[in-house]
């Protein structure tokens, strides 16, 4: 697994997922062309895992372990 942003600093960050590209590549029609997840890092020494659970018409995200 690679680190998305090495040395992520404390503060508010935004991840944008290109879900439209994913749906197109997999031959699906999705409702969300892009999803943004905004989160706050208070302790940059901790590991941050932001999973996205996605279906064509719903999504969910949470702070992973």
Q: Is residue 3 part of a domain?
A: no
Q: What CATH code is carried by the domain that includes residue 43? A: 2.60.40.180
Domain that holds residue 28: 11-61
Please report whether residue 2 resides in a domain: no
- What is the pLDDT, as a whole number, of residue 17? 93
Q: Going by C-beta distance under 8 Å and a sequence separation of 6 or more, which residues neighbour residue 25?
A: none
Residues 6+ away with beta carbon under 8 Å from 60: 52, 53
pLDDT at 10: 93
Domain count, the chain: 1
Distance (Å, whole) CA 37 – CA 31: 17
Q: What is the pLDDT of residues 2-61, one digit of tens each?
A: 666 777 899 999 999 999 999 999 999 999 999 999 999 999 888 888 899 999 999 999
Q: What is the pTM of this model?
A: 0.77
Residue 27 falls within a domain, yes or no?
A: yes
The one-character DSSP state at 62 is: -
Residue 5: inside a domain, yes or no?
no
**Whole-number Å distance between alpha carbons of 45 and 31:** 36
Residue 57 lies in a domain: yes
């Amino acid at each position: 697994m690679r680190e998305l942003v090495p040395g992520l600093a404390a503060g508010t960050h935004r991840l944008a997922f290109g879900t439209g590209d994913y749906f197109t590549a997999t031959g699906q029609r999705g409702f969300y062309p892009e999803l943004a997840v905004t989160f706050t890092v208070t302790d940059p020494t901790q590991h941050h895992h932001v999973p996205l659970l996605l279906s064509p018409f719903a999504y969910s995200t949470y702070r992973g372990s």
